[in-house]
Structures are given as structure tokens and as C-alpha cells.
Structure 1
Amino acid sequence: MSELPSLALLGTSADPPTEGHRALLEGLADHYGQVATWASDNPFKQHGAPLGLRARLLAALVEAIGNPRIRHVQQLSNPRALITVERAAERWPGHSLVFVVGGDLVAQVPTWWKAAELLQRCRLAVVPRKGFALYPAALEAIRNLGGQPELVHLPVPATASSSIRRHPSPEQVPAALWAELVRHNLYGLGQQPSRSLR
């Protein structure tokens, strides 16, 4: 019996999307074959822009990447990960669903709504982040709920949306997003930089 094709599910605040998001999406597509991503409201975070605008920014990034194996599917967005996974299972029957979190979020997973049920419905992939320690106790707490976290090491630069919100860094923002950022004067990035960005 052949294995089910894997589909990586990546929800992100996308506040704003960064070159790190680009590298993560591309790395996940190489590792799992298919990626679905969406902008989300994380109940543990405060956001710098409304969800609809962050969704447009993420869609622009996915379009700029231009890889048909990476799709922006905003309909998956829900503050509760289990509901997202249920929507994905309905949309892509016959796929092995892999819910992706950054290493900085691992300790939160056991506190999520119906976390044990979530971990039964999908695989959990953990992508370590530069600058964030990945504590064995956090992974063990997930295993105690029945999850088997997969560590996926990808070459993702140490960029963070939160640091861009605090200290605008044009070089960390993909060029495809600039028109929208300038239009809405977001994140202190109110004018397009004169130098060429990727």
C-alpha cells in the first residue's frame, strides 16, 4: 500500500510576511511536496494589521514565489488549529496532513484547544528557529498528548515579523509586498526603498 501524499499546513500571522516566510514556504515545498498557507489571528499575539490585509500580503508573497506546489488558502484560517485541520481534511481527502509550527511555538501547543485531538488528526512538524531554544520538555509534553513531533531543519534566515514591527528593516521584506505596504503605510515602511530588493 502506497503512502498518502503529504500536505504541509502553515498558518502564520504574516504581520508582515518576511524573507523568512519565503524561505520557510520554499523549504516546506521541497520537504513535503505540497504546502497550503494562510494568514491567521493568533490568540496569543497582538497584530499590527487587520487579518484581511495580512492575508493579501501573504497571497502576494505566494504569487511572487510562483511555485504551484505552494498555495494560499485563506479559507483554512481559524484561531483554533483543530478547526483548520478539519477544514483541510475535508478539502484534501487522501492526504497526510502535517501541521507546521516554528520552534518558538512548541511550548504553546499543549495549551491549544483540544490539543490531544489535534495531534491525533495530523502530524506535527516543528521547524527550529534561529535564536530560539527548543526545549526537550516542550517536545515531551506533546508526546505525552499522543503527538510525534517531526523536527524539520530548514535554511530559514533569522528574520522575525515582530522585530520588523519594532525596527523597520526593508531588506527583510520581500519586494512583492512593497506596493501594499506603501499604500497602507504599514510597519513604518511608508515608502518604497530606492535600492532593489529580491
Structure 2
Amino acid sequence: MADIALLGTSADPPTRGHQALLTGLLEHYPRVATWASDNPMKQHAADLSMRRDLLQALVHHIADPRLELAQELSSPYAITTLERAKKRWPSQHFCFVVGSDLAAQIPSWKNSRDWLSHCELGIVPREGWPLADSALNALNALGARLQVLPLSIPGTASSKVRQAGERDQVPESLRPLLLKHNLYGYSLPTA
């Protein structure tokens, strides 16, 4: 079993799904490290430093000492993140965590066979994104040490907040920052 679950996310913005995922991981791992990252397959609505601040606010709200924002792990590439994690925690074993929506993409990620050999791969089923057997088979063919994690994550999506203004998907703890910076359709009333 891994000592530390690693969860990178675009956090554009963090949603109730991110909150459920982080708290769920704390039920299965002694420590959880998270960070905001730039996904090379996405365009982001807020810059990385703002997304980091939003994720930090969520981590602070969860208030569990076993959960930390480890922004220094942030990289568009999983292999770089794992190299950084090994330098920071040289004697620890890692579980790199992704949602079921990303499982089929992993074989196309940079050096996927290499980085998969250095960690467990935890896949979290997300409501609305079924995990296909073909994705699992492709990951097994790359030598992944797979775990489908027994978590129930709601079908929230940051894109729904950005595109459709579904504010109920954003944790209340983030509202002050969103209002302060006029992000994702949140703004203070004008006088």
C-alpha cells in the first residue's frame, strides 16, 4: 500500500467533487498531497497561481493535517511530478490518483510506461464517466499497478462551473476568493 496519495488537478475551479475526492483519499491513505497544475490538453480560465490559492483554500477548509498542498510537485507531466515527489519523500511509496475520465488518456501521456513503473495508479470512478475495460486493459499492458478506489465522487465538473455557471458545484469555502477576484462569474455587487 502506498504511503502518500498524489492528486494533481487543474482546479479551474475546485468543485465539490474535488472536496469529496480529497476527503475520500484521506480515508484510504496515511497522507495526501495535492497541487494545482497546468494540463497540456486544456486551456485554463484562471492562472496557475490563482488556482493554487483556490485549492489551498479548499485544503485549509478540509483541515486535516494529513492533507497538504504540495505545489512544488506541479508539472504538466506526471513523470516530472513523480521525480519531484521522490526527491521530497525518498523513502515513501506513492499512489498517483486520477479520475475515471482520464484513465483512457494515460497511455498517451509523456513517458507513461516509465512513470507507471514508479508508483501505484489509483483510479477513482466519477459519476458520469464510466471506467471502460479497454482503458484498464491498456493500462495493464503498460505495467500499471492499478487500484480502482472504492470512492463515490459526484459528477461535478469545473467546466460546468465555467461554461454553465453551475455555482452549486463550488464549495462555499471558496466563495470569498472567487468574489474578491471576480472569477467564474462571481462578482461583488456594484453600488
TM-score for the superposition, normalised by structure 1: 0.92
In the TM superposition, 1:141-180 aligns within 5 A as 141-180=138-177
Tell me which residue corresponds to 2:69: 72
Tell me which residue corresponds to 1:195: none
Aligned equivalents of 1:131, 1:50: Cα separation in 2: 27
C-alpha offsets along residues 139-189 of structure 1, whole Å, 9 cap, x if unaligned?
Answer: 111111111211002122221111111112232211221111112211112
Shift of 1:6: 1.5
In the TM superposition, 1:34-183 aligns within 5 A as 34-183=31-180
Aligned equivalents of 1:157, 1:110: Cα separation in 2: 25
| Unaligned runs of at least 5 residues, structure 1 | 193-198
Aligned equivalents of 1:68, 1:23: Cα separation in 2: 17
Task: Please tell me whether residue 8 in structure 1 is matched to residue 18 in structure 2.
Answer: no
Aligned equivalents of 1:17, 1:89: Cα separation in 2: 26
Shift of 1:85: 0.5
CA RMSD of aligned residues (A): 1.3
Aligned equivalents of 1:91, 1:51: Cα separation in 2: 21
Aligned equivalents of 2:8, 2:148: Cα separation in 1: 17
Conserved? CA contact 2:59–2:68, under 8 Å: yes
Equivalences, count:
189
Aligned equivalents of 2:116, 2:48: Cα separation in 1: 26
Q: Secondary structure at the match of 2:96?
A: strand
Aligned equivalents of 2:182, 2:98: Cα separation in 1: 29
C-alpha offsets along residues 31-74 of structure 1, whole Å, 9 cap, x if unaligned?
Answer: 11210000000011111110110000000100011001110010
Conserved? CA contact 2:125–2:149, under 8 Å: yes
| Unaligned runs of at least 5 residues, structure 2 | none
AA of the residue aligned to 1:69? R
Identity of aligned residues (%): 50
Aligned equivalents of 2:153, 2:139: Cα separation in 1: 24
Q: Secondary structure at the match of 1:11?
A: strand
C-alpha offsets along residues 112-160 of structure 1, whole Å, 9 cap, x if unaligned?
Answer: 1110001111110000110012111111111111112110021222211
